A and B are shown apart, each in its own frame.
Chain A
Amino acid sequence: QVQLVESGGGVVQRGRSLRLSCAASGFTFRSYGMNWVRQAPGKGLEWVAVISFDGSTEYYADSVKGRFTISRDNSKNTVYLQMNSLRPEDTAVYYCARPRVPLGDAFDIWGQGTMVTVSS
């Protein structure tokens, strides 16, 4: 079945780095753009980044621009989020999300999320 599984979360000190992975299965991964969305404890959803189907284009939320990098490996059906210079306000559950159709703007497949805690 169509599935996204995130990994790589954990506890990290302020200023350090962490790389999240999202493994996809059950669909033609190389045809879809992929997104990362996060949710701080008790707070709302925040869109983080998107990468095009072929990895040629990336866009970021202002809050992470210059610190986070989204990338993908279509041979491994995996999308990544490299997070550098982490701040306490980056503490959140991080979800990867797939659009409903390859060029669509609505996210219909979500992973279970991976928790990132940045300690000060």
Chain B
Amino acid sequence: QSALTQPASVSGSPGQSITISCTGSSSDVGGYNSVSWYQQHPGKAPKLMIYDVSNRPSGVSNRFSGSKSGNTASLTISGLQAEDEADYYCNSYTSSSTYVFGTGTKVTVL
């Protein structure tokens, strides 16, 4: 049950697009379309941003999009805004019927 691998930090200027990767294995990310992404601001509970690889819950901006290729999932934030500055975590269902989170990525808006 090793954590999925994410870059520690990603930054971009307002209006730019950034992409956060989430690398696992065929036992988790690569084996299931059950990848989700969470945004967490300091001191707050996580918020679901993407589910089932590429679906957005109601109320989440269409600036957020998700995709997957092989054992790597990705979250793209387009038109970066100051409010997007937060920590982001991926999550996947696993072949052991458990779940595993990514290591987390701090997004900084320059």
Contact = CB atoms under 8 A, between A and B. Distances in A.
Interface residues of A, number: 23
Contacts of B89: 44-45
A110 B46 contact: yes
B57 A44 contact: no
Sorting the interface of chain B by its residue count into under 10, 10 to 19, 20 to 34 or 35 or more gives 20 to 34
A104 interface: yes
Given A100-B51, A100-B57, A113-B45, A105 B99 contact: yes
A95 B89 CA distance: 15
Contact of A50 (B47, B98, B100): B98
Interface of B: 1, 3, 32, 34, 36, 38, 40, 45-48, 51-52, 57, 87, 89, 91, 93, 96-104
Given A47-B101, A100-B51, A104-B52, 9 more contacts: A35-B99, A44-B89, A45-B101, A47-B100, A59-B98, A95-B46, A100-B48, A105-B93, A105-B99
